[in-house]
């Protein structure tokens, strides 16, 4: 029996998904009416398969949401799946400020890594304290939570559930996160806290408009222990072509534990999505969320959406593919996976 920590893959059984709801005190203030329908679509899709934890700084809005979603769930025969928690927040990216859960001796343990808004780019103090608010509210039951003095966002790592991490050097090695630590020290800390013994480092790849320093969940994802899907740009005139072609070569060089190459599946490259100033936004189909029995796939009202749905259905033939229109999320430089954090089985019970 493994006694050290084990970081489950996203496809492992889950108890809930965490959403940090947008409110007028965030950068969503001017487009709340656009973004809330996206969050509601995500919330309802999650509730079909598992529990939902919502935190929101505005208590009145939170109470309304709890009633609305509980009513909707009851109509579907899904009573008691919504857990609403009042908690201050700077922003809504639960993937990066939410807890990362490992299993020690088969029991869940939540890790509260430091969050500094992707290297100090934005205010972060409320987000950094949010996990403690959730724990004090009893969301995680009696499961222990450990604070870790290391900046780490959930979107910056991908686990195969068997001890291998996928990450980008651009993100984890940026000095604005953990300036005193080199690659070796970071690998050692990840081994001690997450139980990983291999890190596959992508040294190439980026998306224009991204604030995260190339989070792995925008570029490449584990679909199974031996299978990685990734974004590929076929247009030689596109600014991303060279970097993503080099990233593809990195992926081809990676080897599984038995020495065999990974199965690789290229995802469609969506047409450019631009903001009001003509700046490109980081649209990516890699930012999907795996939940119990389904995959929530961000789509962007572009011609490649149907191909993305088809390819995800081929990758996950036993799961329902649920496309969710996420174009409004791009206005704050994120997408579906960035806005969610799964909580593994055995943690959240309502």
Sign of CA dihedral 163, 168, 169, 173: negative
Which of left, alpha, beta for 22 (phi over 0: left; psi -120 to 50: alpha)?
beta
Tokens matching residue 155:
């979107």
> What is the C-alpha to C-alpha distance for residues 139 and 85, in angstroms, rounded to an integer?
8
Among candidate residues 171, 229, 326, 338, the one labeled active-site is 338
SS3 57: coil
> What is the C-alpha to C-alpha distance for residues 74 and 332, in angstroms, rounded to an integer?
32
Ranges of beta strands (E only) in 30-163 are: 51-56, 82-86, 100-104, 107-114, 145-151, 158-159
CA atoms within 13 A on the CB side of 79: 0
| Phi, psi (rounded to 5 degrees) for 201 | -95, 120
Q: Is 229 known to be catalytic?
A: no
> What is the C-alpha to C-alpha distance for residues 336 and 299, in angstroms, rounded to an integer?
9
Query: What is the set of active-site residues?
Result: 338
């Amino acid at each position: 029996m493994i006694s050290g920590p084990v970081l489950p893959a996203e496809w492992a059984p889950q108890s809930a998904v965490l959403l940090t709801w947008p409110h007028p005190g965030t950068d969503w203030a001017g487009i709340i009416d656009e973004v809330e329908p996206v969050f509601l679509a995500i919330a309802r899709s999650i509730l079909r398969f598992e529990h939902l934890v919502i935190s929101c700084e505005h208590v009145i809005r939170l109470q309304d949401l709890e009633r609305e979603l509980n009513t909707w769930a009851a109509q579907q025969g899904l009573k008691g799946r919504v857990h609403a928690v009042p908690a201050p927040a700077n922003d809504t990216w639960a993937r990066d400020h939410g807890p990362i859960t490992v299993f020690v001796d088969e029991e869940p343990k939540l890790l509260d890594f430091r969050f500094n808004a992707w290297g100090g780019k934005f205010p972060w103090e409320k987000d950094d304290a949010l996990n403690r608010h959730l724990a004090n509210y009893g969301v995680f039951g009696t499961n222990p939570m450990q604070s870790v003095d290391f900046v780490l966002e959930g979107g910056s790592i991908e686990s195969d559930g068997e001890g291998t991490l996928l990450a980008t050097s651009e993100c984890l090695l940026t000095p604005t996160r953990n300036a005193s630590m080199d690659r070796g020290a970071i690998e050692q800390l990840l081994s001690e806290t997450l139980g990983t013994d291999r890190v596959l480092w992508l040294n190439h790849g980026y998306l224009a408009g991204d604030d995260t320093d190339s989070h792995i969940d925008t570029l490449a994802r584990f679909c199974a222990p031996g299978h990685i899907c990734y974004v590929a740009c076929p247009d030689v005139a596109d600014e991303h072509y060279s970097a993503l072609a080099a990233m593809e070569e990195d992926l081809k060089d990676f080897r599984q534990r038995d020495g065999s190459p990974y199965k690789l599946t290229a995802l469609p490259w969506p047409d450019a999505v631009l903001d009001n100033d003509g700046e490109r936004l980081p649209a990516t189909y890699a930012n999907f969320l795996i939940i119990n029995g389904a995959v929530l796939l961000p789509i962007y009202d572009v011609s490649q959406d149907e191909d993305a749905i088809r390819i995800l259905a081929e990758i996950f033939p036993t799961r329902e593919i649920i496309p969710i229109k996420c174009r409004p999320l791009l206005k704050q430089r994120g997408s579906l996976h960035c806005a969610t954090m799964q909580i593994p089985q055995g943690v959240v019970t309502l």
